[in-house]
Structure 1
Amino acid sequence: MSRKLIFPLYYAAILFQAGAYGLTFMLPRLFDSFGANEKVVGTMLLLTTAATVITVYFSGHLSDLLGRLRTLGMACIAISASLFLYGTVPGVGAGLAAASLLLGFGWGLTYSLGPIVMSRLVRADERVRYFTLLSVFVMAGFGFAPVIASAMEDAGFAIRDAFVLNGALCLVSAALFLALDRPIKAQAVNARPEAPSRITLAAVAGVLRSPARLPVFMVFLGASIFAGLNNFQTVFADARGLDYAYFFMSYTLTSVIFRLVMARFTGGANPYMTIALLQCLMCAGLALFVVSGDSLPLYVLVAVLFGLGYGVSYPVLVAMAADDADDDLGAQTLQLFALTYFIGIFGFPLIAGWMIVEVGTTPLLILITLLAVVEAALALRRGLARRGASAAEA
């Protein structure tokens, strides 16, 4: 199989399974259909967090045993089972808990191993470009799944039907990953056998001693911001009399279009300054959302600014994690990057759900905005340090 065919098939597999996470934005709506509130959403996602953290830690052990593509195929089957459970359970109980655990297991594997497989197919100087393209398909899955769910509701289907549909697409992803196992090994840039991917305490310590510790921490902050804003976007929209589909459509189109535009952008001479600038746009969008009320034009503007800020800066941050990693800890660094991402993605909704029920949506939005300010400041600090180091060398 040629490289020209491998990449679109790999990206298609990523796209089909990425919708699973996008449907977690619909969990408040799904849970409301059987009388559960945002606290229950947060609790179920806490189970997902626990499963994800454990899975990411052992993902390297599992992929060393089975191979990365076979592991990705197994992960997609687990995600499919999770979505079928979400689409059929009658209420809060063991079935819902099992669905949450399976989702964490599947996403922990796909999200941590996906970039590692990609890094084996491309040279170091191509990472930003191909990681950006990878993130385009992930974002398309994330963002369009809620839009499709909204369209299905408008057409008379139940929200559960969207989960079942995406479960079927995840089975397609599983088949594609399994079919790509041999072709990707044959087309690897480095023909040597795959280096061990397993995480050990020594590897964790090595990553934390390296410059990559900053992007690893920053992605945790960004994931918390993303989860707080997106997982409860249906709640924010309903409280203001707005249609959440406008937010997801605007955010997704902005992220996808600008990621495609920047696919050949390598981050500039100082990528952390690029990240800081983009995240300042994110801060502006979040601050606007606090005061925008029920204005639809401002609602769309918030989504666009968030798409530019978070959506476009994220793939550059992934590339920085890979570039800042020690040569012998590249796979482990990307896995820890995924681990902290998932702690934020699935852990922060517990805090967010509690805040919505106990103190309301506005304090939550203020907290999210403050986290964005901290993340932008960290990027700016690293960017200024790099500029100073470059000036000293000159």
Structure 2
Amino acid sequence: MSRTQTFIVYFIAIFLQAGAYGLTFMLPRLFESFDASEKVVGLMLAITAITTIITVYFSGHLSDIFGRLRTLGIACLAISGSLYLYGAATSEGVGLVMASVLLGFGWGLTYSLGPIVLTRLVKPTERVQSFALLSVFVMAGFGLSPVLASVLEAVGASVRDAFYITSWLCIISAVLFFILHKPIKEHALNPAPEVPSRITLLSLLHVLKSPARTPIIMVFLGASVFAGLNNFQTVFADNRGLDYAVFFLVYTLVVVAFRLVLVKFKGGENPYRTIAFLQYVMCASVVLFMFSGDNVVLYILVAIFFGLGYGVSYPILVAMTANDADADMGPQTLQLFALSYFIGIFGFPLIAGWFIVEIGTTPLLALVAVLAGFEATIALRRATASNNR
């Protein structure tokens, strides 16, 4: 397999399994079919968050034993099993808990190890571009799986069928990762064996004392914003008489388009200033959504601004994390970045679900807007500090 073919197969494998996370946006719809509330959605995703935290911590241990590509293959098989159990669920119980555990295990591995694999194939100066391209395929999977669910519902099928179809796609992804084990090793820029990836208490403290702690904190805030707006988008849309598929389709197209542009962009002279600007745009999109009501044009604008703000700033933030990491702590830093991301992604819905049921959707959006503004301000302070050096 040539170097180009290796990249193509790798990104296809990433795309095929990425749809699994997009289907978590459909859990409120799925759970509604057996009369489970948004609180239950939040609880199941909290179980996923706990499993993810444990998995990310030990992901380096597993990859040191099996190799990163084989570990990714195992992760995709776990995700496949998770989606099947979700699709088959007809009530609250052990099946949902097991599905949530498997999802946390699978996503904890794929999301933390995926960027690490890519760092072996590209130069440090190419990281913004390569992470942007990686995130294009991730986001395409994220955003198109809810659209798939909407299309299936429109033709008379069930949202459950989207879970079954994506389950099979994850099996294909697993096979591709197993196949890539040898080609990636052959095309690595550094032919030496993979450096140890496991996280220890000493490495954890080392990373948190490095400049990388700033993007690690920021990604938690951004993930909470993303989860707050996306995980319950079906609820927001239904309450306003809107079509959630419009939001996900527009959001995905904007993110993919701008991330493809970002492939030729290195973040500018001060990448944190770029991140701050984009995240203030993200904050503005949430504020707009609070007051947009059932206006379809404004709904589309919210999706555009959120796609531009969150979607474009994220790959730059990943690259800054890798650049801020100490040379011998790259894998551990990226794993802790992923860990922080997952605490927000799967942990915040527990709070969001409670807000929706007990207080309402508008207070939830206000909280999300505050978190977005706080993250943007952290980026702006970091950018100012960089200019003063």
In the superposition, the TM-score normalised over structure 2's length comes to: 1.00
- Residue ranges of structure 2 left out of the alignment (5+ in a row): none
Counterpart CA distance in 2 for 1:53 and 1:146 is 25
**Counterpart in the other structure of 1:261:** 261
Deviation at 1:179, TM superposition (A): 0.2
Q: Secondary structure at the match of 1:198?
A: coil
2:300 alignment counterpart: 300
Query: Which structure 2 residues correspond to residues 14-163 of structure 1 after superposition, within 5 A?
Result: 14-163=14-163
**1:355 maps to what in 2?**
355
CA apart distance, 1:280:
1.2
Q: Distance in 2 between matches of 1:222 and 1:93?
A: 31
Residue type matched to 1:324 in 2?
D
Q: Which amino acid aligns with 2:115?
A: P
Q: 1:165 maps to which residue? A: 165
Aligned-pair identity in percent equals: 67
Residue 209 of structure 2 is aligned to residue 209 of structure 1: yes
Q: Which residue of 2 aligns with 1:252?
A: 252
Q: Spell out the pairing of 1:273-288 with structure 2 (5 A cutoff).
A: 273-288=273-288
Secondary structure at 1:34's aligned position in 2?
coil
The 5-angstrom pairing of residues 162-241 of structure 1 reads: 162-241=162-241
For the residues of structure 2 that align with 1:192 and 1:90, how far apart are their CA atoms? 50
The residue that corresponds to 2:386 in the other structure is: 386
Structure 1 residue 264: deviation in Å? 1.4
Given residue 56 of structure 1, which amino acid in structure 2 is its aligned partner? Answer: V
- In 1, Cα distance between equivalents of 2:209 and 2:346: 26
Aligned partner of residue 120 in structure 2, secondary structure:
helix
Runs of 4 or more above 2 Å deviation: none
Partner of 2:344: 344
Q: By how many angstroms is 1:164 displaced?
A: 0.2
Q: Could you give the per-residue CA deviations for residues 222-271 of structure 1, whole angstroms, max 9, x where no partner exists?
A: 00000010000000000101000010011100000000011111101100
Letter in structure 2 aligned against 1:10: Y
**Separation (CA, whole Å) in 2 of partners of 1:210 and 1:300:** 40
Residue identity matched to 2:35: G
Question: What's the offset of the Cα at 1:344?
Answer: 0.2
> SS where residue 90 of structure 1 aligns?
coil
Once residues 234 and 198 of structure 2 are traced to their aligned partners in structure 1, the CA distance between those partners, rounded to angstroms, is: 38
SS of 1:268 mapped into structure 2: coil
- The Cα RMSD (Å) is 0.4
Partner secondary structure for residue 121 of structure 1:
coil
Partner letter of residue 107 of structure 1? W
Please give the alpha-carbon distance, in whole angstroms, between the structure 2 residues aligned to 1:151 and 1:286: 26
Distance, in Å, in 2 between the alignment partners of 1:3 and 1:365 is: 45
SS at match of 2:263: coil
Following TM superposition, by how much is the alpha carbon of 1:144 offset from its aligned partner in structure 2, in angstroms?
0.5
The superposition leaves residues 163-201 of structure 1 with CA deviations (integer Å, 9 ceiling, x where unpaired) of: 000000000000000000000000000011000000000
Q: Distance in 2 between matches of 1:90 and 1:144?
A: 25
- CA deviations over 1:264-308 (Å, ceiling 9, x no partner): 111011000000011111111111001111100000000000000
**Whole-Å Cα distance in 2 between the matches of residues 262 and 333 of structure 1?**
23
Runs of 5+ in structure 1 lacking a partner? 390-394
Query: Structure 2: how far apart are the matches of 1:47 and 1:159?
Result: 22
Aligned mates of 1:266, 1:353 — CA distance in 2:
38
Distance 2:97 2:252 in 1: 29
Deviations 1:286-333, CA, capped at 9 Å, x for gaps = 110011111000000000000000000000000000000000000000
- Structure 2 distance, partners of 1:90, 1:361, is 27
Q: SS of 2:242's equivalent? A: coil
Question: Residue 183 of structure 2 aligns to which amino acid in structure 1?
Answer: P
Q: In the aligned structure 1, how far is the partner of 2:99 from the partner of 2:131?
A: 29
1:360 alignment partner AA: G
Residue 8 of structure 1 aligns with an amino acid whose one-letter code is I
Residues 80-125 of structure 1, C-alpha deviations (whole Å, 9 max, x = no match)? 0000111112211001100000000000000000000000010101
Q: How many residues align?
A: 389
CA distance in 2, matches of 1:269, 1:202: 33
Q: How far is 1:162 from its partner?
A: 0.3
CA distance in 1, matches of 2:154, 2:229: 23
User: C-alpha separation between the residues in 1 aligned to 2:2 and 2:8?
Assistant: 11
Opposite residue 288 of structure 1, the aligned amino acid is: L
How far does residue 213 in structure 1 lie from its aligned partner after superposition?
0.1
Aligned to 1:392: none
